[in-house]
Structure 1
Amino acid sequence: MNQSAKRYSPLQVALIGGAIATTATMSVFGSAWTRSVRAALQDSPKTLVDQVWQVVNREYVDGSFNQQDWQATRQSLLSKNYSSNEEAYVAIREALQKLGDPYTRFMDPKQYEALTNQTSGEVSGIGIRMEVNEKTKRLTVVEPIENSPALKGGVKAGDEILAIDGKSTLNMKVDDASKLIRGKAGTPITLRLGRMGQNAFNVKLTRATIEIPTVSYNLKQEGNRRVGYIRLREFSAHASDQMRRAIRDLNGRRVDAFVLDLRGNPGGLLQSSIEIARMWIDDGGIVRTVDRRGGTEDSKANRTALTKLPLAVLVDGNSASASEILTGALKDNKRAVVIGGQTFGKALVQSVHELSDGSGLAVTIAHYYTPKGTDINHKGITPDIKLDLTEAQERQLATNPSLLGTKNDPQYARAIAVLSGNNFAQSPIILPTQPMSARANDLKF
């Protein structure tokens, strides 16, 4: 994937699982700093060290800091001399390990850039997915992204990328090619392509900011029933808009039921998961978060559901974080039948901060619970119909993704059987009567 950094101003973001989301903008510098400390640490790697300490001290969900003397940790960190930011990174990581929380972690600038790129839902480049073909060992276009410069410029799946701006791609890795292809929107780039049955040719393109599709969908005719199959790969910044378009389009095509595929979805923005839940649930709870002081925030549906048609949700062991928020809300509200494997089991919320040198910090700030108050941490969500794939079935679907959402996909086939057992003209929704309450507009995963 061709990506370039989407630069964020210093901000706080919250994270569940491996995905990120913005909350209210705030300075990363702690209010506890004194002027003398600021002056002493200015333009020093110690500035970075103390930024991290301050954020953890202010927000970490465990007020005992895993029974560590966090004040002593600060004194130890600031008593050392660091010749570079890299040395400070090592010290920061060692200090964070004492918390015993793998989700509270430090990210160097490249890692933080990758995380923000992942969840922005956008890339700046030409819009292609590429890989090194196993047979030819050549850099090959998997597909051009919809509405991208590559697609508009005539790039096709299967094209071999022979050179990028005159630089040969022979033995080039995908990551290295991505660095050459990505760049500022509006700048030119020339690819030399090889296509079966043609001589090599050049394609001149202009880079652009591209919305990455995280939602794919189609209408499937299953017997005499019309089923809308929607696959959501990640809860990015654009996922809710894409989901809304998918549901509305399928409604317009008069589907009888839906299958929502969340398998392999690692999570994403919390606000995106809340917005998507509201597209399926007209009333009822979605998620509750609890911080270290016992403060709670409830997110609820707001009578804006786009459909009440029968719904089946597919999950597996890699359905995590925001995927589990959505699944838990649909299950607890009896809005959908959940089919597949036990989900990942991650119920901790992290905030993510950009630091002064472009690095980042994720720190656990809260715990979340499903609408019924279930704690799924380290447990996951148990599907209504537990159906694990065999290793052979997993391999088959992994090597041939086109089989997903077909009758050669056992979990999808089971969903169709279950939906066919219901009256398609009736919705299986059993919605609890609950008063509307506070919005959930800040925390995101």
Structure 2
Amino acid sequence: MNRTLKHVSLSKLALCGGAVVATAAVSLFGPGLGRVKAALQDSPKAVLDEAWQIVNREYVDDTFNRVDWQQVRQRLLDKSYSSREQAYTALRKELEKLDDPYTRFMNPKQYEALTNQTSGELSGIGIRLEVGEKTKALTVVEPIENSPALKAGIQSGDRIVSINGKQTQGMTVENASNLIRGDVGTKVSLEIRRDQGQPFVVSITRARIELATVRYSLKQEGKSKIGYIRLNEFSSHAADQMRRAIKNLQGQKADGFVLDLRGNPGGLLQSSIEISRMWMGDGAIVRTVDRRGKNEEISANQTALTNLPLVVLVDGNSASSSEILTGALKDNGRATVVGSQTFGKALVQSVHNLADGSGLAVTIAHYYTPKGTDISQKGIAPDVKIDLTEIDKQTLSSNPKLLATLQDPQYSRAVSVLEKILLAQPNRPTTGKQASVQKPQ
């Protein structure tokens, strides 16, 4: 029996990210097509044609940047390929003609890395590593919360002498991470040196670990209790983590919030919508337009978790889903935006898994802020503009502990803006209908 693909809204299907984030959107193979899929896996040309068909069907520009897309297919299928890599190279060259860096082919390893990234999970033991500046030793920055490493007693500052018997002297963090990661349920053996004590060996079983994309704390700044939340990426777990952060900070009697989106390259479109709804009681969030000119407007749905004053921090690396959230909060008067002009990515991608395990990211729509602004290549202008100097950037880069302190000029300005709002609205309600935010200049 044949099954037809039902219409799925962009908010359920599509992805938004910086230069690299995306995840699987559509499977091209229905029931009963297993033998066809198996045949495709052995044919580089079939995979090329599969990729061509997806672009032909979904790409946002139906002129394909004035490229004869039918002729592209003919060129791809007329060639002979001695290896998959040669076929992959040919496909990449043809995709470059679209002049769209976000529509791109990924080999199986790249595709797996990207889908793992947006899943917000990894298979490993859950530690953050660095090479000590003075010791040059592979060192644990911190074990991740609820991770196998934390449960095994691994501590910040522990030096890893060897991994499965392989000495780490001169090893990069990337190479060490590759050795430590592995299949869920398998074990890795770490030789640890702690302080000046003798080395000891710890055997840790790998597990699936949810990565923290949200970090938060309650900060006492003058007379104000400020709920500070930093969101690094819109992964599949970001909304749940944001929900916990807002509720916990409200439980600690925060007076207002600073939401830090600096450096956030984007991620899943649905995640940005869910998070927008946590801050907004009503109003439009984003409008998308596909190749056929079909508009879809996505709005808040009366599920806001807080009505407390909000300041959003952005910079030139705040992109895509970060800009959707920022644009929604700004255009609806829900937040004051502080920092630098954002990146300016107003395109939506879906990512497809191909028959041989490779992947294809395809731009499928353009998006606009609630007021109809096209931010493409322009970004969002903050309400209160403050750019970091080169000295500021070097200082914060060399000493990350200064981020989100009063020695961080953008955070410091965000605090002063929030304090002015709090002073102007001393009896602001914490529940009920969403109120507009006064925007000091």
Q: Same fold by TM-score, threshold 0.5 exceeded?
A: yes
Please list, as runs of the form range in 1=range in 2, the aligned pairs for 1:242-257 lying within 5 A after superposition: 242-257=241-256
Structure-2 residue corresponding to 1:168 = 167
SS of residue in 1 equivalent to 2:302: coil
SS of residue in 1 equivalent to 2:48: helix
Preserved contact between residue 218 and residue 225 of structure 2 (Cα < 8 Å): yes
1:327 aligns with 2:333: no
Task: Select between 69-78 and 153-162 the one with higher mean Cα deviation.
Answer: 153-162
Please list, as runs of the form range in 1=range in 2, the aligned pairs for 1:117-196 lying within 5 A after superposition: 117-196=116-195
Distance 1:291 1:122, change over 3 A: same
Structure-1 residue corresponding to 2:28 = 27
Preserved contact between residue 28 and residue 51 of structure 1 (Cα < 8 Å): no
Preserved contact between residue 15 and residue 352 of structure 1 (Cα < 8 Å): no
Distance 1:126 1:40, change over 3 A: closer
CA deviations 1:350-372 (Å, max 9, x no partner) are: 11111112111111111000011
Quick one: distance in 2 between partners of 1:57 and 1:367? 17
Quick one: distance in 1 between partners of 2:277 and 2:40? 47
Give the % identical residues. 65
| Residue type of the alignment partner of 2:87 | A
CA deviations 1:23-63 (Å, max 9, x no partner) are: 7543169xxx9x9x999967211011111111110111111
Structure-1 residue corresponding to 2:113 = 114
Structure-2 residue corresponding to 1:425 = 427
1:43 aligns with 2:49: no
- Per-residue deviation at 1:401? 1.5
Quick one: distance in 1 between partners of 2:399 and 2:177? 25
CA deviations 1:164-213 (Å, max 9, x no partner) are: 11121222222222221111222222100112121111111111111100
Structure-1 residue corresponding to 2:257 = 258
| Residue type of the alignment partner of 2:263 | G
Distance 1:257 1:175, change over 3 A: same
Quick one: distance in 2 between partners of 1:59 and 1:346? 19
Distance 1:40 1:269, change over 3 A: closer
Quick one: distance in 1 between partners of 2:120 and 2:37? 36
Preserved contact between residue 160 and residue 192 of structure 2 (Cα < 8 Å): yes
Quick one: distance in 2 between partners of 1:202 and 1:357? 40
CA deviations 1:376-433 (Å, max 9, x no partner) are: 00000000001001111111111211111111111111111111112243269329xx
| Residue type of the alignment partner of 2:54 | V
SS of residue in 2 equivalent to 1:66: helix
Please list, as runs of the form range in 1=range in 2, the aligned pairs for 1:38-77 lying within 5 A after superposition: 43-77=42-76
Please list, as runs of the form range in 1=range in 2, the aligned pairs for 1:42-441 lying within 5 A after superposition: 43-422=42-421, 423-426=425-428, 429-430=435-436
Quick one: distance in 2 between partners of 1:247 and 1:38? 45
Quick one: distance in 2 between partners of 1:106 and 1:344? 23
Preserved contact between residue 235 and residue 269 of structure 1 (Cα < 8 Å): yes
Task: Select between 320-329 and 401-410 the one with higher mean Cα deviation.
Answer: 401-410
CA deviations 1:65-104 (Å, max 9, x no partner) are: 1111110111111000111110001100111011111111
Quick one: distance in 2 between partners of 1:22 and 1:123? 14
Preserved contact between residue 24 and residue 351 of structure 2 (Cα < 8 Å): no
| Residue type of the alignment partner of 1:426 | R
Quick one: distance in 1 between partners of 2:244 and 2:39? 54
SS of residue in 2 equivalent to 1:365: strand
Preserved contact between residue 214 and residue 238 of structure 2 (Cα < 8 Å): yes
Quick one: distance in 1 between partners of 2:90 and 2:100? 16
TM-score by length of 1: 0.89
Structure-1 residue corresponding to 2:6 = none
Quick one: distance in 2 between partners of 1:405 and 1:119? 25
Distance 1:357 1:38, change over 3 A: closer
Preserved contact between residue 25 and residue 351 of structure 2 (Cα < 8 Å): no
| Residue type of the alignment partner of 1:429 | A
Preserved contact between residue 25 and residue 352 of structure 2 (Cα < 8 Å): no
| Residue type of the alignment partner of 2:104 | R
Preserved contact between residue 336 and residue 429 of structure 1 (Cα < 8 Å): no
- Per-residue deviation at 1:132? 2.0
Quick one: distance in 1 between partners of 2:328 and 2:219? 26
| Residue type of the alignment partner of 1:154 | G
Structure-2 residue corresponding to 1:14 = 15
CA deviations 1:206-265 (Å, max 9, x no partner) are: 111111001011111111211100011111110100000000001111111100000000
| Residue type of the alignment partner of 1:14 | L
- Per-residue deviation at 1:344? 0.2
Pairwise CA RMSD of aligned residues? 2.2
Task: Select between 417-426 and 44-53 the one with higher mean Cα deviation.
Answer: 417-426
